[in-house]
Amino acid sequence: MQENTPLRVALVGHGFMGAAHSQAWRVAPRFFDLPLQPRMDLLVGRDAERTSADARKWGWAESGTDWREAVTRADIDVVDIVTPGASHAEIAIAALDAGKHVLCEKPLANTVEEARAMADAAARAEARGVRAMVGFTYRRLPATTHARNLVASGAIGTVRQVRAVYLQDWLVDEDSPLTWRLQQDQAGSGALGDLGAHAIDLAQYITRRRLTEVSGTLETLVGSRPVPGAAGTGSGLAGGSGSSTERGPVTVDDVALFLGRFEDGVLGSFEASRMATGRKNAFRLEISGSLGAVHFDLEDLNFLDFYDYTAPQDRQGFSRIMVTEPDHPYVSAWWPAGHSLGYEHGFVHQAKDFVEAIAAGTNPAPSFADGLQVQDVLDAVTRSAAKSSVWTSV
């Protein structure tokens, strides 16, 4: 493709992730000097009225209700998938086979079998110059990319241990409604896939090591929730009208805890919970090494904590690196030093990297094969939990 050639994008799905991805496609070409120019051509959703309203609000040229339109239209180059996991495989495989570049939200699929089929489709498409990427956005924050660079440079010495927790509390109220994220047939898993997938990917990305075996347990703390639309549905804590008389079963985990062993024997501990009272989006990752350590906290994402064990004893202690200098990853395109970035910037960086890979004819990362590997880890945790936490190979 020639420089400044339009890259015509269709976004399948909207809601929370639709807003984040729309922001990314809209902003990326205005702050980064991209070789291709993303054009927001089509937004697809199930409800025509809502999809049309979101298309106008977010800046999409058209809206529709059938994802097959995005796949079959000759004037669409990229299909971006932000639907529930149950539909990822069908949409992505059809799009790749039709010659569309595909960006797909995490986790890649609901099952290993679906993820493997998607990775196979991506491999077939790659031979025709078609690119595919899975959206593990937290890789693209300045702090996490900088942490990876520090670890690779030997700044913390030999990696010895990894600790990761991802805590939210949006399900603490037992009368929170039964959404698709609480149904296995739609989401695949609960806190494990929703939050744990991020922890797995980021730990592997920063350490450049893959998990090879796990021992885990899964727990559903609230077994049923009000069915949306039923009479009386609402949350007393949130000021609703009281509990619904109709409740449906929650078929995924609320909490996932597991130990992991990386390929060189390094141990990791992982916790994912959507029932951690008081924690809104507390994703914390700490990597300890023989010469130091790094610590990242998503709720304080403009900083990276670094410990230098080689410093004189009277100067040792975690130092806070404010990752807003032009030398830090991605930052030179944004604001003067000290002016913070936010949650949405990771999605902008994701769009930038994907567009640049398409233009260069190179494979973007994380690939669908990477997404399959994370799916293998999720599956191993699930199998371990079903066998009373026995160590299980990935």
Measure CA 61 to chain center: 26
**199 lies in some domain:** yes
Query: Do residues 267 and 163 lie in contact, with contact meaning Cβ atoms separated by under 8 Å?
Result: no
**Residue 15 vs residues 23, 28, 36, 161, 350: alpha-carbon distances, Å:** 12, 20, 26, 37, 19
- CB-based contacts of 33: which residues, under 8 Å, 6+ apart? none
Q: Rounded distance, CA 24 to CA 245, Å?
A: 41
Asked if 171 and 315 sit in the same domain, the reply is yes
**39 lies in some domain:** yes
Any idea what the CATH number is for the domain that residue 280 is in?
3.30.360.10
pLDDT at 371: 98
**353 lies in some domain:** no
Asked if 174 and 107 sit in the same domain, the reply is no
Question: Is the Cα dihedral 218, 223, 228, 232 positive or negative?
Answer: negative
* Tokens linked to 78: 């990229």
Range of 162's domain? Answer: 142-300+302-341+373-393
**What 3-state class would DSSP assign to 357?**
helix
**87 lies in some domain:** yes
Q: Rounded distance, CA 100 to CA 131, Å?
A: 8
Asked if 336 and 201 sit in the same domain, the reply is yes
Which single residue is written with the structure tokens 């999605």?
Answer: 347
Asked if 18 and 166 sit in the same domain, the reply is no
**Residue 270 vs residues 15, 216, 219, 266: alpha-carbon distances, Å:** 28, 9, 14, 13
Asked if 233 and 320 sit in the same domain, the reply is yes
Asked if 38 and 146 sit in the same domain, the reply is no
Asked if 185 and 212 sit in the same domain, the reply is yes
Asked if 196 and 279 sit in the same domain, the reply is yes
pLDDT at 237: 40
**354 lies in some domain:** no
pLDDT at 109: 97
Domain boundary among 120, 137, 154: 137
Any idea what the CATH number is for the domain that residue 66 is in?
3.40.50.720
Q: What is the mean pLDDT of each run of 10 residues along the chain (394 residues)?
A: 81 96 98 98 97 98 97 97 97 98 97 98 98 98 98 98 98 96 95 98 98 98 92 45 75 98 97 98 98 98 98 96 97 96 98 98 98 98 96 95
**194 lies in some domain:** yes
- CB-based contacts of 314: which residues, under 8 Å, 6+ apart? none
Asked if 128 and 29 sit in the same domain, the reply is yes
Asked if 172 and 71 sit in the same domain, the reply is no
Domain boundary among 137, 156, 177: 137
**152 lies in some domain:** yes
Q: What total of structural domains would you count in the chain?
A: 2
Domain boundary among 111, 137, 163: 137
pLDDT at 4: 72
Asked if 124 and 159 sit in the same domain, the reply is no
pLDDT at 241: 40
Can you list the pairs that 84-91 forms with residues at least 24 positions away whose Cβ atoms lie under 8 Å? 84/13, 84/180, 84/181, 84/186, 84/187, 85/109, 85/110, 85/186, 85/187, 85/188, 85/193, 86/110, 86/185, 86/186, 86/187, 86/188, 88/114, 88/118, 89/114, 89/115, 89/117, 89/118, 91/12, 91/67
Asked if 108 and 154 sit in the same domain, the reply is no
pLDDT at 3: 60
If one counts every other C-beta atom within 10 angstroms of the C-beta of residue 239, the result is: 7
**360 lies in some domain:** no
Q: Rounded distance, CA 339 to CA 205, Å?
A: 26
Residue 321's H or E segment, with its range, is strand 319-322
